[in-house]
Amino acid sequence: MKLTQIHSAETGIRDITINGARLWENLMEMAAIGATDKGGNSRLALTTEDSAGRRKFISDCQALGMTVTSDAIGNLFCRLEGTRPELDPVVMGSHLDTQPKGGRFDGVYGVLAALEVIRTLHDAGLQPKRSIEIAVWTNEEGARFTPAMMGSAVFAGIMSLDDARARTDAAGVSVATSLEKEGWAGESPFGRTFNAYFEAHIEQGPVLEEKGLAIGVVTGGQAISWLDISVSGNSAHAGTTPMRNRTDAFLAAAAMASGLEQVAAEFAPAGLLTIGELSITSPSRNTIPGEVIFTLDLRHPRDEILSQFDQACRESLSTVAAKRGVQVSVEQHWLSAATPFDSDCVELVNEAAITLEYTHQRMISGAGHDAIHIAKHCPTTMIFIPCAEGISHNEAESIEPEHAEQGANVLLRAVCSRANQ
Ligand SMILES: [Zn+2]
């Protein structure tokens, strides 16, 4: 391989683009590992299928002369040495594990777009100034072991290694046992300094497709508030209690839900509200519910607006409770601040989309991603591409080859610009 030293985005990178057909072929090869009968993928974290996907990826990296290391939670790092290997690397990546009946592109796209970037540099004989690495984070999906985004959390010091290793799957098998069985734990240190981290990903929402845009320039992750709500009325006999004498906790909760929907409308479209769990305590079909508990998931890109949203929800709950004669209690279960991405990295992605003349818009990430954790560790951003009807975590997940190619071209330019700075 002839290596030409390049020192800026203006030389070398300007004229090269990734090979879209090769990227697509590689995506389809990976999709054959753990393929499901309805055209999706099942490669649960740290299973033999996950390992098979990783091994294929590693051999493709090694064929390009990349070195491969892993850390104690099994995160993989495949490295293309730069001309100044003493400098901190620029890292691309995502995950190869999937939901039990997952799609072919969630996570996989980011890893294989990164591989295509390296292949393109290799073909062109270009060596960047900084080393470039591809990270494959362990257990992003959280489908076999909770929590999701485990590998990146341990790497970034958000979760302890001991805590992660002790987590077990439904069969009682621990992360520690699975790591040992599959052989992925290595000695690369946690929290190693990265110059920057770029993650390409399918949007997993409908916005880009609806607007006919090719690229989402992701500016950060949204703030999240999880509330636990408990509504207390009086349980009583379903057959003997007149309607006017009842304090039905469920009907009060139903009125609260419709009040909350009105609050959400005031914070739309950026504010999102979901009641994902609801249960009647000691349920019985011939007893008027005395207590109902439900969860509330509130999201907004801005911390201060989320806090107003949260407050408005609490006021609405109290108003309905007073009207209905029930007691309501609200407890904060979890609060996660918004994660703004690094403005320089975001700008590199934006400039790449402009230079390549791809339609694009700035947007925030609705879902959690490894990049949200890594953003606490180093300058970070993401690149989104459209997916059909926003469907993800589903075997029907689908993308257009053209979008896959465009996203990888943006990744190539943004990463190489950063690596040559
Ligand atoms: Zn993902």
The pLDDT value recorded for residue 351 is: 97
Average pLDDT of every residue of the chain: 95
- 361 Cα to the center of ligand 1, angstroms: 20
The pLDDT value recorded for residue 12 is: 61
**Using an 8 Å Cβ cutoff, are 120 and 412 in contact?**
yes
296 φ, ψ to 5°? -130, 130
237 closest CA partner among 285, 281, 271, 192: 285
- 33 Cα to the center of ligand 1, angstroms: 17
Distance CA 230, CA 287 (A): 18
Give the C-alpha distances (Å, rounded to integers) separating 315 from 194, 265, 329. 44, 15, 12
The pLDDT value recorded for residue 315 is: 98
Instruction: Residue 261: count other Cβ atoms within 10 Å of its Cβ.
Output: 12
pLDDT reading at 211 higher than 70: yes
Residue 197, H or E segment: strand 196-202
List, by residue range, all CATH 3.40.630.10 domains of the chain: 4-221+338-420
Tokens 């190693």 appear where? 192
pLDDT reading at 2 higher than 50: no
Structure tokens at 394: 């589903």
pLDDT reading at 8 higher than 90: no
Structure tokens at 229: 């709500």
- 312 Cα to the center of ligand 1, angstroms: 32
| Mean pLDDT (whole number) for 225-232 | 97
The pLDDT value recorded for residue 369 is: 96
- 218 Cα to the center of ligand 1, angstroms: 14
As a CATH number, domain 225-336 is 3.30.70.360
List, by residue range, all CATH 3.30.70.360 domains of the chain: 225-336
The pLDDT value recorded for residue 9 is: 43
Cα-based angle 61, 67, 72 (whole degrees, multiple of 5): 105
Q: Which residues of 175-190 are buried (b: 16+ CB within 10 A; e: fewer)?
A: bbebbeebebbbeeee
| Mean pLDDT (whole number) for 82-99 | 97
More confident residue, 72 or 9: 72
The pLDDT value recorded for residue 10 is: 44
User: What is the secondary structure of 82-142 as a DSSP string?
Assistant: -SSTTSPPEEEEE-----TTB-SSTTHHHHHHHHHHHHHHHHHTEE-SS-EEEEE-S--S-
Fold of 4-221+338-420: Aminopeptidase (3.40.630)
**Using an 8 Å Cβ cutoff, are 41 and 31 in contact?**
yes
User: What is the secondary structure of 221-267 as a DSSP string?
Assistant: E-EEEEEEEEEE---EETTTS-GGG---HHHHHHHHHHHHHHHHHHH
Residue 336, H or E segment: strand 327-336
269 closest CA partner among 209, 207, 338, 220: 207
More confident residue, 334 or 279: 279
The pLDDT value recorded for residue 299 is: 96
Distance CA 217, CA 83 (A): 29
Distance CA 56, CA 90 (A): 23
- 106 Cα to the center of ligand 1, angstroms: 5
Integer Rg of the chain from CA: 24
pLDDT reading at 1 higher than 80: no
- 394 Cα to the center of ligand 1, angstroms: 12
- 285 Cα to the center of ligand 1, angstroms: 41
- 294 Cα to the center of ligand 1, angstroms: 27
The structure's pTM equals 0.88
Provide the greatest CA pair distance for the chain: 88
Q: Angle formed by the axes of helices 401-420 and 108-124, to 10°?
A: 60
Distance CA 345, CA 195 (A): 10
Tokens 């916005």 appear where? 207
129 closest CA partner among 17, 8, 2: 8
- 110 Cα to the center of ligand 1, angstroms: 8
Sign of the alpha-carbon torsion through 322, 328, 329, 333: negative
Cα-based angle 167, 169, 170 (whole degrees, multiple of 5): 135
Structure tokens at 260: 């909350």
Residue 34, H or E segment: none
| Mean pLDDT (whole number) for 33-44 | 95
- 200 Cα to the center of ligand 1, angstroms: 10
The identity of residue 69, as a single letter, is T
Sign of the alpha-carbon torsion through 402, 404, 409, 414: positive
| Mean pLDDT (whole number) for 191-208 | 97
227, 228, 229, 235: CA torsion to nearest 10? 170
Count of residues making up the chain: 421
- 198 Cα to the center of ligand 1, angstroms: 14
pLDDT above 70 coverage of the chain, percent: 97
pLDDT reading at 3 higher than 50: no
Give the C-alpha distances (Å, rounded to integers) separating 262 from 193, 265, 305. 46, 5, 16
- 93 Cα to the center of ligand 1, angstroms: 11
